[in-house]
Chains A and B, each alone.
Chain A
Amino acid sequence: MIDIEHIIELARLYVTEEEREKFKKQLPEIIEFFKNLEELDTENILPIFHTLGVKNVMREDKMRKFEDRELILENAPEREEDFFKVKRVIEEI
């Protein structure tokens, strides 16, 4: 059973009442469609995560300063001096 409300909440989407009703029907249909894959026999097949066959891509531990940090800060939805400013997050007790 798909809990559409939970999925909407997790995705942080704004969904109207009308859309909710629509998705409640559509989403299970989509999932059902994917179930077609279960017909395949994958008994002795290991899962793969990439098709490239590339492994061990690493970089050396070298520090390099990014020169345009001002550009990042400028693009903050809101900023205060050199901080990003967001709505108050309550994590106190």
Chain B
Amino acid sequence: MMDWEVVIGLEVHVQLKTKSKMFCSCSTDFDSLPNENICPICTGQPGVLPKINRRAIELALIASKILNCKINRISRFARKNYFYPDLPKNYQISQYEEPIGYDGYLELPSGKRIGIMRVHQEEDTGKLLHYIGSRKLDYSLIDFNRSGIPLLEIVSKPDIRSPEEAVEYLTFLRLNLIYAGISDCDMEKGSLRCDANLSVRRKGEKELGVKVEVKNMNSFKSVKDALSYEARRQIKLLEKGEKIIQETRLWDERGGVTKSMRRKEYAHDYRYFPDPDLVELEFDEEFLNEVFSKIPELPLERRRRYIDELSLSEYEADVFISNKEASDFFEEVIKGENDKSFFKEASSWILNDLLGILNERKLSFNELKLKPEHLKELVKLKISGKITSKIGKEIFPVMLEKGEFPSKLLKELDMEQIQDEDEIRRICSCVLKENQKVVEDYKKGKKQAIGRLVGEVMKKTRGRANPRAVNEILRNLLESSP
């Protein structure tokens, strides 16, 4: 194992975040009934003409840009020909010689750069079903809702050197695509799919080994497991003096192995040619500038801002970056604020209190009754000393449940801070009377005894007094009495 180097290139498909399909106006909604979103174009009826979705092209350009790709000023669509029942036209509209972007890289947080060979635009196929529930069919069913949904194919160079690094690349690529608004990248819903090419070679060897394509990996974990297995399999064969066959293998999740795909492949004879139904795209400077001016803040930029400008810790920044929903919620809470203690407090509520509860209840941020403005008010109350930590912790679960401003809830629950200074002075005097021993200690010079007295007042007021004010009143009373 030690003498070998693993070489991996990844082919990632993501579904672009558009309302309508790539070449027709059908909906891209995931939660639709079977064949609800179909029309003559995406079911390949004779005589129809495709029309390019501008938004999809913009997103492809943005993806190319953030992956540091060169942009083909003239881009074309090509037909990729093959027969398969999920492909109603018998060709897929894709790109061949003039992809939108090419020759870029993604710099991982570790600093390593993974080359990007190309970023091209294409359309999805329909979905084949082989089961109804758990019953295996002796025929197949097709749902064309997915047919024609815009996809982006991002092909990396063979720069990845381990299954772990493959996952690191995927994780960071995904994050960037989500932040840039290009795709939801939800593997469960199929809006991010990943195939890999893997070969091994002896360390120091310049030539690449024979590569095997690995498919059917449905989570980041299965990417790691499948690639680890495949690397071991190839090394074992080579050490026995056997040869690697160039082929496609499918990851069998249950068995934990890759298996040779027996489907006959005419595959690599796609007979690409420029699609005569689609005219070329030519991007001028003005168009590109306008598209690129709309690129939102990317994860590494946001991370830097959180640390440098908001003074959050690296740990806090990293948790926010990996959870865009949490980070966007935080952004709403801190909108218009510029006090560092505010940022710190808001971050702490979200990371230490909110995330745990959401995980526990399996909720997402948009299912939450608590709104950013509610938390904003809580943070303000807390840092201005209008509520104590204790009251904060008590009122927070009620805010979550009711979705209300804390000020309103505090009033309703009679947990508001006592504003009346006479009232506090009265309680303070009372506490002094009840704690003669502590008062004597204080007068003998044990100044820290005042802490106990403050505690007693807070207990009596159920935390509704401002501890700073209590401290001051107590001190005045103690100093003024003989």
Which residues in A have some Cβ–Cβ distance to B below 8 Å? 6, 9-10, 12, 49-50, 52, 54-66, 69, 72-73, 80-93
Contact = CB atoms under 8 A, between A and B. Distances in A.
A86 B144 CA distance: 13
B39 A66 contact: yes
Nearest to A70: B35
Contacts of B141: 80, 83-86
A82 B28 CA distance: 18
A4 to B, nearest CB: 14
Interface in B268-317: 269, 271, 274, 276, 278-282
Contacts of A66: 24-26, 38-40
Interface stretch (B54-62, B219-227, B385-393): B54-62
Contact of A61 (B43, B56, B130, B271): B56
Given A63-B20, A63-B26, A66-B40, 13 more contacts: A10-B266, A50-B280, A54-B279, A60-B55, A66-B26, A72-B38, A80-B141, A81-B34, A83-B35, A83-B142, A87-B85, A91-B128, A92-B130
B276 A82 contact: no
Contact of B269 (A10, A52, A65, A93): A10
A69 B261 contact: no
A9 B264 CA distance: 12
B143 to A, nearest CB: 6
A51 B354 CA distance: 61
B266 A58 contact: no
Nearest to A86: B85
B18 interface: yes
A89 B52 contact: no
Contacts of A88: 130, 137-140
Nearest to A58: B54
Q: 5 closest A-B pairs (Cβ-Cβ)?
A: A66-B39, A61-B55, A83-B141, A64-B25, A58-B54
Given A65-B26, A83-B35, A49 B85 contact: no
B444 interface: no
B76 interface: yes
B2 interface: no
Given A49-B274, A72-B45, A59 B51 contact: yes
A34 B56 CA distance: 39
Interface of B: 18-20, 24-28, 33-40, 43, 45, 51-57, 76, 81, 83-85, 128-130, 137-144, 250, 252, 259-263, 266, 269, 271, 274, 276, 278-282
9 contacts: A9-B266, A49-B76, A55-B279, A61-B19, A63-B26, A72-B43, A85-B141, A88-B137, A88-B138
A88 to B, nearest CB: 5
B271 to A, nearest CB: 7
A93 B43 contact: no
B262 A89 contact: no
Given A58-B51, A59-B52, A90-B263, A84 B39 contact: no
Contact of A49 (B34, B144, B280): B280
A50 B266 contact: no
Contacts of A69: 35-36, 38-39
B34 A83 contact: yes
Contacts of A83: 34-35, 129, 141-143
A56 B57 CA distance: 11
Contacts of B45: 72
Contacts of B37: 65
Contact of A82 (B27, B34, B140, B260): B34
Nearest to A55: B282
Contacts of A87: 85, 139-140
A28 B1 CA distance: 52
B187 to A, nearest CB: 19
Which of A52, A83, A89, A92 is the most central at the interface, judged by chain B CB atoms within 10 Å of its CB?
A83
Which of A50, A52, A72, A73 is the most central at the interface, judged by chain B CB atoms within 10 Å of its CB?
A72
Which of A61, A65, A87 is the most central at the interface, judged by chain B CB atoms within 10 Å of its CB?
A61
A82 B35 contact: yes
B207 to A, nearest CB: 30
Contacts of A50: 276, 279-280
Contact of A60 (B54, B143, B250, B282): B54
A86 B130 CA distance: 10
Given A49-B76, A87-B140, A62 B281 contact: no
